[in-house]
Homo-oligomer: A and B are copies of this chain.
Amino acid sequence: MTAITASEEIVLEQPCPIRDVLDRIGDQWSLLILEALAPGTLRFNALMREIGDISKQMLSRTLKQLEQDGFITRTLYPEVPLRVEYALTPLGHSFLEPMQQLVAWADTHHRTIVAARLQYQASQT
């Protein structure tokens, strides 16, 4: 079938655990979403505003992925107009801990990296 599967299939598992996890949250948006939800529950449009430059498309897709993987919960309130709230699960919260270490590292060493790039560029004449 060359056709794109309409209801996107769920890939259950990849060989390497770390790859499996990083492939999922290593995209452009997952991490941003998780951190946006760290302070507390948010609705779809609130997330849009919070993140700023994400498209509805990608927010929707990524939220679904994160829900699949158990990082967040999606709660539908069948009111009019519709209300949907997203929140971190305990798994999602626990993930942010090691992640904060990385964020801290990035903040600390960012200038070093930029400097390295400048130096490399200069060394290439």
Complex contact B110–A21 (CB within 8 A) = yes
Complex contact A113–B91 (CB within 8 A) = yes
Which residues on B sit within 8 Å (CB–CB) of A22? 26, 31, 102, 106
Which residues on B sit within 8 Å (CB–CB) of A94? 105, 109
Complex contact A10–B117 (CB within 8 A) = yes
Point out the residue from B21, B68, B103, B118 that lies within 8 Å of A106, measured CB to CB: B21
Interface flag for A38 (CB, 8 Å): no
Interface flag for A79 (CB, 8 Å): no
Give chain A interface residues in 69-123, CB to chain B under 8 Å: 69-70, 91, 94-95, 97-99, 101-107, 109-110, 112-121
Interface flag for A18 (CB, 8 Å): yes
| Chain B proximity of A116: nearest CB distance (Å) | 3
Interface flag for A4 (CB, 8 Å): no
Which residues on B sit within 8 Å (CB–CB) of A109? 21, 91, 94-95
